[in-house]
Homo-oligomer: A and B are copies of this chain.
Amino acid sequence: MPVMINQLLLPELREAIESEDMTSLDSFCEILHPSAIADMLQELEDPTVYSHIFKRVQAHNRARLFEYLPDEIQDELAATLPVEDMAKLIEHMSHDERVDLVKRMDDRREAEIMPLVARAEREDIVRLSKYDESTAGSIMTTDYASVPAEINVEEAVRRLRREAPDRETIYYVFVVDADRHLIGFLELKDLIVASPWKKVSDIMREDVIRIRAEMDVEDAAAMLAQYDVLALPVVDADGKLLGIITHDDVIDVVIDAATEDAHLMGAVQPMSAGYLTTPFGETLLKRMPALVILFGAEMIASFVMQGYDKLLHTFETLMFLVPVIIATGGNSGSQAATLVTRAVALGELDVKDWYKVALRELFQGCILGISIGVLSIVAVNLLSADENVARVATVLVLALVAVTTCGSLVGSLLPLLFLRLGIDPAYSSGPSVASIIDVVGIGIYLSIAAAILL
């Protein structure tokens, strides 16, 4: 992690805080990038000094610093800073970030602060708050640069120059008509290269890639990444420009989506915050459902075994091999589920590819099972020395091939089935696939054993 320089400065910062050495504190806040100050605040892990240091930061840097802080510290500051400072801060924050902040505030605090925020900014916050978290609208910002089509290049550059400090990006300029319909697009560099007297409408591109505010936020992120652009314009049903989504927000969406998928695949419900910052009770509740459901599933495996109690009594080696059978089936199933779920998340696989997946996993499972089966012959000979060892080994090899194949098939097709049913494929996690295989696998194993040994 590239924070070494901050960690070197940390002891000095602590000393400056303790000795109330304001000159040093001011120079810290002045020379460091807002992102570096944000890192150091986090390292301090001391809520009492957050607002203390925050106030030393120069006014024009405060909004940027604030946006680099994690939600918990933002909320801490939002609750403790004077209301006038908060109102000023909200006016200067980027339009998408401040909506999230206001949404997290409690109603009383919000009612204290919002009347002090300038009216245009307040209305903007209300407008952006209405989009659901899963839509592109929720990460949209209204901080975009736009110009009318009929002005000339010189006038356009003059307008952008005036607006520049307030816009999230002026590198992309959207061209709108009198009703704010999106009719064209320019890059700032097009304006720089063009003759000053040309009209915007003469040099703009009309084939603007655009998305609807209701589009799924992960699809919007994939689209921005696919087209390698800095920002995508967001329009309503009439084609009116509502805002833009930008490259930095998309990186966050990609990271959040990967975390959510990883959690689901590890049989944990998606959590609201980080590992140490999610409340203890919430983590428990996110883990409990999967554990209980899987416990219930494994009980079925117990009942299946009970149905074969005579067989297990007569050939005790069979009993000792139960963990090997269910673990091998479960592991091959987890592998297949992981491969397919990730491929679906990356857009490589779709439901219509199910037969290709099934065919591939059928052969993968068979070959993996045969290989493990050969190894298992050695293992059985170590475990048992009686006259049945050859027959038990035959049961084991057949059972391993069957559970590995079955595991690979279930593990690969379950995510596609979930996708078809409109459920996130990541729910077909390793543990849940493994539990299905445990039950099926024990059934297969003991019926093969009964057929050969009895």
Contact = CB atoms under 8 A, between A and B. Distances in A.
A334 B267 contact: yes
B348 A438 contact: no
A215 interface: yes
Given A247-B230, A338-B266, A349-B275, A322 B323 contact: yes
Contacts of A376: 295
A388 interface: no
Interface in A423-441: 430-431, 434-435, 438
Interface in A252-278: 252, 254-255, 258-259, 261-263, 265-268, 274-277
Interface residues of A, number: 117
Given A251-B225, A280-B364, A323-B438, A291 B346 contact: no
Contact of A324 (B258, B299, B328, B339): B299
Interface in A196-218: 207, 209, 211, 215
Interface of A: prevailing SS: helix
A59 interface: no
Contacts of A341: 262
B298 A335 contact: no
Contact of A275 (B228, B326, B348): B348
A253 B82 CA distance: 41
Given A250-B251, A267-B335, A287-B368, A312 B319 contact: yes
A143 to B, nearest CB: 13
A309 interface: yes
A193 B164 contact: yes
Contacts of A363: 280
Contacts of A299: 324, 379, 382-383
B188 A164 contact: no
Nearest to A194: B161
Contact of A323 (B223, B225, B255, B301): B301
B367 A284 contact: yes
A340 interface: yes
21 contacts: A2-B219, A33-B227, A160-B192, A192-B192, A251-B254, A255-B258, A262-B342, A265-B266, A266-B334, A268-B339, A275-B340, A283-B364, A287-B364, A290-B331, A291-B331, A299-B379, A305-B320, A322-B323, A323-B326, A323-B438, A334-B431
